[in-house]
Amino acid sequence: MSPDRPTDRRALLAFYMEAGVDAFLEDEPVNRLAEIPQPSAASAAAPAQAPGAPDHGDGPQQARRTPPQRSHVPIPPADSERPSGVGAAAWLEAPATPDAAIMAAREAAAIATSLDVLRTILDRFEGCGLRLTAKRLVFADGNPHARVMFVGEAPGRDEDAAGLPFVGRSGQLLDRMMAAIGLDRSAAYIANVIPWRPPGNRTPTPQESQICLPFIRRQIELANPEILVCLGGPSAQTLLGIKDGIRRARGRWQVYDTGSREIRAIATFHPAYLLRTPIEKRFAWRDFLAIKQALEHDAIK
């Protein structure tokens, strides 16, 4: 076997970085939802010493009982530390099943009375496993009072490092696309359906999307934009229920119902897709011109 040279290790690490792998996980899968670790066979067979009984040392050392440990369970803050508008239901323990996680997300999102409260709830929500591998929560950027809101699918490596959406190469392209119609981040609100980066930039699972859906829906409702722009097929499919691919769905005005009012919505290509397929930029330009015309028409009213 040839020796493991430093140059070989550096080349392997460079390959992993280019593939989007920048986090080390365990070799074996871990059940993050298990509340009480299972005792090993050796500890189960050992006789337990009665609580409070002294250890006389006149025989084999007896196993001492320790209280069961819970993993990844948030400690509810005191009432004085809890933000205004947040009830006890938002500080749930890690749900035992995916269905329970979805219900917990709906309950927690529903009690958010402002975007700041919603961010605090998301920062402590334990129902989505993506938070365990992400560096930080990626909530939003821009002006929450803006007339237009852009929603992508999930953060990437650069967004995970900065804690802000669309700051990498795709974000730089989005900035140029907005500037072409007279917008910048002070005149737009930007978020993602998934607020945590999936490991290695993989596609979020349908289960992960369903768990995060109540939060982005509440975020849109609280921001209350005039126009909602879905960046990419996954965002359009999740928020608008579009079954077609993004090439057929883009450019058509839809209606997004927040539950309290209807918002005009449109889907267009994700900037990351445009970086890979520059020829499609001509269609994205048409979509952004339609957004500009809609904003100008509303301003005249």
Q: Which helix (H) or strand (E) holds 51?
A: none
What Rg do the C-alpha atoms of the chain give, in angstroms? 24
Task: Give me the pLDDT at residue 156, please.
Answer: 96
CB neighbour burial string for 84-116, b if at least 16 within 10 angstroms, e if fewer: eebeeebbbebbeebeebbbbbbebbebbeebe
- Relative to beta strand 189-192, strand 141-142 is antiparallel
Task: Give me the pLDDT at residue 299, please.
Answer: 67
- Relative to beta strand 253-257, strand 262-268 is antiparallel
The highest-level CATH class for domain 141-300 is: alpha beta
Task: Give me the pLDDT at residue 17, please.
Answer: 64
Q: What is the mean pLDDT of the chain?
A: 81
Handedness of CA 293, 187, 184, 265 (dihedral sign): negative
Beta carbons of 24 and 11 less than 8 angstroms apart: no
**3-class SS at 255?**
strand
- Identify the segments of the chain with pLDDT beneath 50: 1, 35-36, 43-81, 85-91
Task: Give me the pLDDT at residue 95, please.
Answer: 74
pTM for this model (two decimals): 0.72
Beta carbons of 253 and 265 less than 8 angstroms apart: yes
Task: Give me the pLDDT at residue 96, please.
Answer: 73
pLDDT 10s digits, 241-276? 988 899 999 999 999 999 889 999 999 999 999 999
pLDDT 10s digits, 4-52? 566 677 777 766 666 666 655 555 655 655 544 555 555 444 444 444 4
Task: Give me the pLDDT at residue 80, please.
Answer: 41
CB neighbour burial string for 31-42, b if at least 16 within 10 angstroms, e if fewer: eebeeeeeeeee
Direct distance between the N- and C-terminal alpha carbons of the chain, in angstroms, rounded to an integer: 76
Task: Give me the pLDDT at residue 34, please.
Answer: 57
